[in-house]
């Protein structure tokens, strides 16, 4: 595809305007070669932009001028433009409509047209699925599950009884929706006694849940994942939790029961949130942090227990110098002793 056509589709500014470059594919900046396009997100990667062999680079509007002879596309959001370019050159697998003969589908299940249902899929009684679903091999859907249109479940997804899933939801391999919440009481002898987990899970529209995530059903009521929320691999959402729309839970995030996550929240990798916490809109919790209390909207926090990110950075800088500071205190204490001390 000609670079001018790519610029037109992205609404990007071509530099130089008369550049005539044929693009055959997309590649990372380190490995891109002639005929390929790449992107640079920040000015600190200017050196990589000079050394790359790519024929064109997607850059920010404020990025330094590209070296002579290098074609560029300037845009306000290079990463988003890069994602759209990948779509132009990448053809995802196509799955033809039809039901594999080994699939087991209860006669009371209702499935929309154009469904593609793979080998050994099991769909229980009372299930409803909208138009254009794709179920890869070994997907299991328990009774009375309700699913919207354009649903895609990769192999070994399990959806437990009575859960509800909206439109355009994508579940990756091994996702479990609606497993029992971790609820136990002790009896009169101190033995663990299981609390029935009689609630459900609601997944709203445009949610993507990646491999081996577990979303627990509520003990009573519902666990809810808000619209356009994205969960990375191995995240765990406990019973009765809720996330607002457009939030992101990165790999190995864990939410204990009854946690409330607001809108546009980012929980970076391995963040842990204790039960019954409220995380406000727009909060960012950095990687490996743990929080045991509520967080105000718009805050950025780090550490365990998590506190203000800027203060945490100053504290970490001091912590690294503690041996040196302790030595200075000891030396100062010895130097300050009198002859009779």
Catalytic residues: 239
How many CB atoms within 10 Å of residue 308? 14
- Helix locations, 76-223, DSSP H: 78-89
Rounded CA-CA distance 337/341 in Å is: 6
Residues 6+ apart with CB under 8 A from 112: 129, 130, 131, 132, 133, 149
The candidate with the shortest Cα–Cα distance to 31, out of 62, 13, 53, 6, is 53
The candidate with the shortest Cα–Cα distance to 60, out of 68, 69, 45, 51, is 45
The candidate with the shortest Cα–Cα distance to 98, out of 81, 83, 119, is 119
DSSP, collapsed to helix, strand or coil, labels residue 194 as strand
User: Can the peptide bond before residue 16 be classed as cis, meaning omega within 30 degrees of 0?
Assistant: yes
> Sign of the CA dihedral 5, 6, 10, 14?
negative
The candidate with the shortest Cα–Cα distance to 89, out of 173, 31, 207, 5, is 5
């Amino acid at each position: 595809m000609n670079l001018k056509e790519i610029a037109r589709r992205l609404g990007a500014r071509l530099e130089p305007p008369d550049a005539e470059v044929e693009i055959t594919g997309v590649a990372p900046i380190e490995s891109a070669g002639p005929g390929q396009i790449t992107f640079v997100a920040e000015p600190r990667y200017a050196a990589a932009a000079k050394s790359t062999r790519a024929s064109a680079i997607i850059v920010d509007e404020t990025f330094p001028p590209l070296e002579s002879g290098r074609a560029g596309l300037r845009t306000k959001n290079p990463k988003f433009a890069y994602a759209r370019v990948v779509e132009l050159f990448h053809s995802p697998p196509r799955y033809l409509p039809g039901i594999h003969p080994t699939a087991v589908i209860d006669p009371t299940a209702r499935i929309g047209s154009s469904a593609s249902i793979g080998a050994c899929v099991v769909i229980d009684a009372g299930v409803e699925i909208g138009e254009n679903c794709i179920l890869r091999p070994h997907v299991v859907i328990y009774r009375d599950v309700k699913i919207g249109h354009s649903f895609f479940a990769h192999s070994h997804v399990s959806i437990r009884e009575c859960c509800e899933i909206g439109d355009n939801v994508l579940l990756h391999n091994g996702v479990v929706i609606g497993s029992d919440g971790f609820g136990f009481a002790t009896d009169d002898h101190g033995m663990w006694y299981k609390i029935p987990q009689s609630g459900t899970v609601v997944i709203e529209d445009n949610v993507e849940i990646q491999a081996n995530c577990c979303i627990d059903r509520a003990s009573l009521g519902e666990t809810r994942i808000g619209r356009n929320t994205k969960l990375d691999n191995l995240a765990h959402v406990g019973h009765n939790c809720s996330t607002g729309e457009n939030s992101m839970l990165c790999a190995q995030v864990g939410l204990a029961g009854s946690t409330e996550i607001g809108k546009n929240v980012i929980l970076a990798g391995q963040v842990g949130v204790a039960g019954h916490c409220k995380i406000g809109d727009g909060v960012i919790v950095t990687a490996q942090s743990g929080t045991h209390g509520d967080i105000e909207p718009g805050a950025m926090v780090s550490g365990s227990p998590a506190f203000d990110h800027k203060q945490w950075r100053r504290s970490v800088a001091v912590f690294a110098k503690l041996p040196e500071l302790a030595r200075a205190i000891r030396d100062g204490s010895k130097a300050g002793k009198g002859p009779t001390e």
